[in-house]
Structure 1
Amino acid sequence: MKLRDFLIGVATGLAAAIIIKETSERISPFVPANQVLNNVKSEFKRESSIDGSWIYMKTEDFYNGITTIPVYKGGISRVHDGELESFEFAADARTGVIVDLKKI
C-alpha cells in the first residue's frame, strides 16, 4: 500500500466523521433536558428558593388542543411564604418554553 493511498483514506474517514457529526446535531433539534430544567429553576428562584426538582430526560407527546408537540416533563418544589408548593411542568423540547404548568 502506498503512503498516498493511506493518507487519502485517512482524509476521507475524517471528512466523513465531521459530516456525520454535523448532520446528527442538526437532526436532533431538541434542547438538552438539563438545560431546560436549569432555565425553569432560575425562573422559580426569582421568587423563592427551590427545595427540589426533577425532569424526565425522554420526550413525550403533548397535545395542546391544536397540535401535538414533543415535551420534557418535570417538577419543582419550593417553600413560598412558609408553605411547601409543588409544580409539574411540560416544556417544549425544541425551544425549552413551558407549555403547561400545574400546581399540585
Structure 2
Amino acid sequence: MSERTLTLAQRRNALRAHSAVQRAELAQTVDRIESRLGTVDHGLNIVRRYAAKPLLVTGGIALLAIIGPRRLFRWAGRGAVLLTAGQRIMRLIR
C-alpha cells in the first residue's frame, strides 16, 4: 500500500469516528429538545381543553375578581404543595 493510500485510509477512519461522535451528540440534543417540546405541547393541550369551555374560563375570572389575586395565588401555592406531596405518597405506596 502506498504512503498516500495509507494516509487517506487513516484520515477516512478518523473522519468516520468524528462523525459517529457528532451523531451521538446530535441525538442527545434532539432528545432534550423533544422532551422540552413535549412539556410545552402538554401545557398547550391543557390550555386548549379549558379554553374550549367558556363557562369555566368565566368562572375562573369571576373567582379571581371575588377572592382577589393574592389569596388565589396563596391557595394555588398550597394546592401545589399538597398535590406534590400526594403524588410522592402515591409513588411510595406503589
Bigger share in strand:
1
When normalised by structure 1's length, the TM-score is 0.35
TM-score (norm 2): 0.37
User: Which structure's CA Rg is the greater one?
Assistant: 2
Whose helix fraction is larger, Structure 1's or Structure 2's? 2
Q: Which has the higher contact order (CA 8 A, sep 6+)?
A: 1
